[in-house]
């Protein structure tokens, strides 16, 4: 029996490719850059499986180009907004993501960004490089400690819980969260479920850890920022579209909130001339939430297993 064919849209960890190659014929766009649209439409034709990333737009045109042979799409990501899942369902194409393997990395990055932002560490590094470091000054680059602060979390899923668990030893005074659900493990970190207005008005540090849905899109906007403390610090490591970036820039410039740390933006990358780029009280990272060797290997192997479990089920 001929082995199923799988197209991989990016250079990924070898562990994932080797797992695929054990049972499939594998074709790879061997580059760190996004596969050109025309190339994707050409190469996907006749494939049984597609191994993609969050940067690849898998829409009806791609599915048409693949043809009736396509049985499974495995995305090396948690999010699936880049895939037309409804069209896949119509065509009987399985779609699989990697929700369980990136949570620790994302939670760790969220805490790191939180500390960078609250303690103004990037400003400190830049000051040293610019020769602005002089003798000790009592009022220079004063940040905010986490001790006794109220930590607010939007979305108490795996990442939100991971952030709460990691921040407990820092001595936060209270952990509150807003979620459509009330996961039982929130009690393990003493987290209290509150409505969104309470979360906004009482959080000193507010971390966005929820999924992007129609309800969460543009959740943080001028109206939202007006309800937050002027001393509040906003951290977003979830999805860029949850925050209105133009209105965030105004809120930061006007002092409606104190600071923000973003690992995700809308669009990505954020244009270099966007107002947020020039603000000292806004730290922007290039979407590093899953950027650890361990997580990327796990994501690649998990994606490969998702694909082979569909394509090779029942094969002798």
Tell me if 85 is assigned to some domain.
yes
Q: Note whether 48 and 142 are same-domain residues.
A: no
Q: Note whether 300 and 237 are same-domain residues.
A: no
Rounded CA-CA distance 299/217 in Å is: 26
Rama region for 100: left / alpha / beta (φ>0; ψ in -120 to 50; rest) = alpha
Mean pLDDT by 10 residues, the chain (316 residues): 93 97 97 96 98 96 97 94 96 94 94 98 96 93 96 96 97 95 85 97 97 94 98 97 98 98 96 97 96 96 97 67
Res 149: pLDDT: 98
Q: Note whether 81 and 110 are same-domain residues.
A: no
CATH number of the domain at 307, please. Answer: 3.40.50.720
For the beta sheet containing 282-284, the strands, ordered from the edge strand earlier in sequence to the opposite edge, are 192-193, 174-178, 150-154, 205-208, 233-236, 259-262, 282-284
Tell me if 316 is assigned to some domain.
no
Q: Note whether 266 and 137 are same-domain residues.
A: yes
Tell me how far CA of residue 305 lies from CA of 201, 221, 302, 311, 316, in angstroms: 44, 40, 5, 10, 17
Rounded CA-CA distance 40/17 in Å is: 18
Q: 268 with 239: CB under 8 angstroms?
A: no
Rounded CA-CA distance 10/7 in Å is: 9
Res 1: pLDDT: 67
Q: Note whether 58 and 107 are same-domain residues.
A: no
| DSSP conformation class of 13 | -
Tell me if 231 is assigned to some domain.
yes
Residue 275, domain extent: 103-284
Verify whether residue 287 is a known catalytic residue: yes
- pTM here is 0.90
Q: Note whether 153 and 201 are same-domain residues.
A: yes
Q: Are strands 25-28 and 5-8 parallel, antiparallel or unpaired?
A: parallel
Tell me if 216 is assigned to some domain.
yes
Res 181: pLDDT: 78
Q: Note whether 93 and 235 are same-domain residues.
A: no
Q: Note whether 29 and 126 are same-domain residues.
A: no
Rounded CA-CA distance 201/186 in Å is: 21
- DSSP state letters, 81-111: TTB-HHHHHHHT-EEE---SSSHHHHHHHHH
Q: Note whether 72 and 122 are same-domain residues.
A: no
Q: Which of 284, 212, 213, 215 is nearest to 248 (CA)?
A: 284
Active-site residue, selected from the candidate residues 178, 245, 274, 287:
287
Q: Note whether 123 and 197 are same-domain residues.
A: yes
| DSSP conformation class of 206 | E
Tell me if 289 is assigned to some domain.
no
What is the H or E stretch that residue 305 is in? helix 293-311
Res 180: pLDDT: 82
Q: Note whether 250 and 188 are same-domain residues.
A: yes
Q: Note whether 41 and 166 are same-domain residues.
A: no
Beta-carbon count within 10 A of 179 CB: 20
Number of domains in the chain: 2
Rounded CA-CA distance 151/111 in Å is: 11
DSSP three-state, residue 14: helix
Res 273: pLDDT: 97
């Amino acid at each position: 029996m001929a082995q199923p064919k799988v197209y991989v849209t990016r250079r990924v960890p070898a562990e994932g490719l080797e797992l695929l190659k054990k049972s499939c014929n594998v074709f790879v766009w061997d580059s760190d850059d996004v596969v050109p649209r025309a190339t994707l439409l050409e190469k996907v034709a006749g494939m049984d499986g597609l191994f993609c990333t969050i940067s690849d737009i898998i829409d009806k045109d791609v599915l048409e180009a693949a043809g009736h042979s396509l049985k499974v799409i495995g995305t090396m990501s948690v999010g699936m907004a880049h895939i037309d899942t409804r069209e896949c369902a119509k065509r009987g194409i399985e779609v699989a993501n990697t929700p369980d393997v990136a949570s620790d990395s994302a939670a760790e990055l969220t805490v790191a960004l939180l500390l960078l932002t609250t303690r103004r560490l990037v400003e400190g590094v830049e000051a040293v490089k610019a020769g602005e470091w002089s003798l000790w000054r009592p009022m220079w680059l004063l940040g905010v400690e986490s001790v006794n602060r109220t930590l607010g979390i939007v979305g108490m899923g795996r990442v939100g819980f991971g952030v709460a668990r990691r921040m407990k030893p820092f001595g936060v005074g209270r952990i509150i969260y807003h979620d459509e659900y009330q996961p039982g493990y929130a009690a393990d970190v003493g987290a209290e479920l509150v409505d969104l207005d309470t979360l906004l008005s009482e959080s000193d540090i507010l971390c966005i850890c929820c999924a992007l849905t129609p309800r969460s899109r543009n959740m943080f906007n001028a109206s939202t920022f007006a309800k937050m403390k002027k001393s509040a610090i906003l951290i977003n490591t979830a999805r860029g579209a949850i925050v209105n970036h133009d209105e965030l820039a105004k809120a930061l410039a006007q002092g409606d909130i104190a600071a923000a740390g973003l690992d995700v933006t809308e669009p990505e990358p954020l244009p270099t001339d966007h107002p947020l780029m020039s603000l000292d009280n806004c730290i922007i990272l290039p979407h590093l939430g899953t950027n650890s060797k361990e997580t990327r290997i796990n994501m690649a192997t998990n994606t490969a297993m998702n694909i082979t479990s569909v394509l090779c089920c029942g094969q002798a």
